[in-house]
Structure 1
Amino acid sequence: MIKTQVVKLKVNKTMRKHLDALCDYRRYCWNKGLETWQLMYEAHTLNKKDNPSPNERRVRDELVANKADWQYALSARCLQLAVKDLANAWKNFFDKAQPDWGIPSFKSKKDPRQGFKTDRAKIVNGKLRLDKPRSVSKENWFDLKSYEALKMDEVKVVSIFKEKGSYYAALPYEEEISAKAKTQQKTAVDVNVGHFNYTEGQINVLPAKLQKLYKRIKHYQRTLAVKRKVNGKLAIKSNNYYAVRTKLQRDYRKVANIQNDLLQKFTTQLVNDYDQIVIEDLAVKEMMMTHVASKGMQRSVFSKFRQILTYKCAWYGKELILADKTYPSTQRCAECGYVKKGDEKITLQGNQKHGTKHNEYICYQCGYTNDRDENAVLNLLALAK
Structure 2
Amino acid sequence: MATHVKRAFKYRFYPDDAQAAELSRTFGCVRKVYNLALQARTTAWYQRQERVNYNATSAMLTAWKKTEELTYLTEVSSVPLQQCLRHLQGAFTNFFEGRAKYPRFKSRKKSRRSAEYTSSAFRYRDGTLTLAKMREPLNIVWSRPLPENARPSTVTVSQDAAGRWFVSLLCDDTITPAPASPAAVGIDAGITSLATLSTGEKIANPKHERRDRAHLAKAQRELSRKAKGDGANRAKARRKVAKVHARIADRRRDFLHKLTTRLVRENQTVVIEDLTVRNMVKNHTLARAISDASWTGMRSMLEYKCAWYGRDLVVIDRWFPSSKLCGACGTIRAKLPLNVRAWTCDCGAVHDRDVNAARNIKAAGLAVSACGGGVRPQRESSRTGQSSVKQETQRATAGTPRL
1:1-385 to 2 correspondence within 5 Å?
1-43=5-47, 45=49, 51=50, 53-67=51-65, 68-94=70-96, 101-111=100-110, 113-119=112-118, 120-132=121-133, 141-148=135-142, 151=146, 153-163=150-160, 164-194=162-192, 195-200=194-199, 201-207=201-207, 211-225=210-224, 227-228=225-226, 231-233=227-229, 236-238=231-233, 244-340=237-333, 344-347=334-337, 350=338, 357-363=339-345, 366=347, 368-382=349-363, 383-384=365-366, 385=369
Q: In the alignment, is the contact (CA less than 8 A) between 2:209 and 2:292 conserved in 1?
A: no
- Output the amino acid matched with 2:354: D
Give the Å deviation of 1:44: 5.6
- Report the Cα distance in structure 1 between the residues aligned to 2:323 and 2:33, rounded to whole angstroms: 47
Give the Å deviation of 1:199: 1.9
Q: In the alignment, is the contact (CA less than 8 A) between 1:121 and 1:155 conserved in 2?
A: no
- Report the Cα distance in structure 1 between the residues aligned to 2:62 and 2:331, rounded to whole angstroms: 63
- Report the Cα distance in structure 1 between the residues aligned to 2:59 and 2:321, rounded to whole angstroms: 51
Offset from partner CA, 1:175-232 (integer Å, 9 cap, x none): 222111112010011112251111231222325x65221221122112221x13xx44
Offset from partner CA, 1:215-262 (integer Å, 9 cap, x none): 21122112221x13xx4448x433xx5655444333323222211221
Give the Å deviation of 1:35: 1.9
SS of the equivalent of 2:89 reads helix
- Report the Cα distance in structure 2 between the residues aligned to 1:87 and 1:203, rounded to whole angstroms: 43
Counterpart residue number, 1:48: none
- Report the Cα distance in structure 2 between the residues aligned to 1:66 and 1:242, rounded to whole angstroms: 31
Offset from partner CA, 1:119-149 (integer Å, 9 cap, x none): 12221231211111xxxxxxx7311120126
Q: In the alignment, is the contact (CA less than 8 A) between 2:122 and 2:132 conserved in 1?
A: yes
- Report the Cα distance in structure 2 between the residues aligned to 1:346 and 1:89, rounded to whole angstroms: 43
- Report the Cα distance in structure 2 between the residues aligned to 1:330 and 1:64, rounded to whole angstroms: 60
Q: CA RMSD in A?
A: 2.5
- Report the Cα distance in structure 2 between the residues aligned to 1:289 and 1:62, rounded to whole angstroms: 42
Q: In the alignment, is the contact (CA less than 8 A) between 1:10 and 1:144 conserved in 2?
A: yes
Q: In the alignment, is the contact (CA less than 8 A) between 1:361 and 1:369 conserved in 2?
A: yes
Q: In the alignment, is the contact (CA less than 8 A) between 1:358 and 1:372 conserved in 2?
A: yes
Give the Å deviation of 1:369: 3.7
Q: In the alignment, is the contact (CA less than 8 A) between 2:155 and 2:168 conserved in 1?
A: yes
* Structure 2: gaps spanning 5 or more residues: 370-403
SS of the equivalent of 2:57 reads helix
- Could you say if the C-alpha distance between residues 285 and 143 of structure 1 is closer, same or farther in structure 2, counting changes exceeding 3 Å? same
- Output the amino acid matched with 1:206: P
TM-score, L = length of structure 1? 0.82
SS of the equivalent of 1:175 reads strand
Counterpart residue number, 2:389: none
User: In percent, how many aligned pairs have the same letter?
Assistant: 23
- Report the Cα distance in structure 2 between the residues aligned to 1:127 and 1:2, rounded to whole angstroms: 21
Q: In the alignment, is the contact (CA less than 8 A) between 1:279 and 1:323 conserved in 2?
A: yes
Q: Which runs of 4+ in 1 moved over 6 A?
A: none
- Report the Cα distance in structure 1 between the residues aligned to 2:28 and 2:204, rounded to whole angstroms: 40
TM-score, L = length of structure 2? 0.78
- More deviation, 257-266/191-200: 191-200
SS of the equivalent of 1:291 reads coil
